[in-house]
């Protein structure tokens, strides 16, 4: 994972949900932070707008903070224009 991007996403999660950033450990389950699935969907829509990306209609549950970060990073990586050498 890109450490700078990871920290940026953690900051956005903390800001959006009013959570202290130090609570956002990779293994922390989002439900334990009081974030339900509807709130997470709304957050992911905001990430689409912020990063100008389109999230896949994934059936993979976003259980932990690491899952959320990985999904956003994967989408960003997959949707970057290819560079020609």
pLDDT tens, position by position, 40-73: 999 999 999 999 999 888 777 899 999 999 999 9
The CATH classification of domain 3-79, taken from the options 3.30.230.70, 1.10.1200.10, 3.90.76.10, 3.10.180.10:
1.10.1200.10
The pLDDT, as a whole number, for residue 84 is 53
- Number of helices and strands (H, E) in the chain? 3, 0
**Nearest-angstrom CA–CA distance, 50 and 34:** 23
The domains of the chain are located at 3-79
pLDDT at residue 83 greater than cutoff 80: no
Mean of all residue pLDDT scores within the chain: 90
| This prediction's pTM | 0.85
The pLDDT, as a whole number, for residue 58 is: 72
Share of the chain above pLDDT 70, in %: 93
């Amino acid at each position: 994972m890109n450490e700078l991007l990871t920290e940026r996403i953690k900051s956005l999660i903390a800001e959006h949900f009013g959570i202290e950033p130090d609570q956002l450990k990779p293994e922390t389950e989002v439900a334990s932070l009081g974030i339900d699935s509807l709130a997470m969907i709304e957050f992911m829509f905001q990430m689409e707008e912020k990063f100008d990306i389109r999230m896949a209609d994934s059936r993979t549950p976003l259980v932990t903070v690491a899952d959320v970060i990985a999904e956003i990073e994967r989408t960003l990586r997959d949707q970057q224009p290819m560079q020609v050498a």
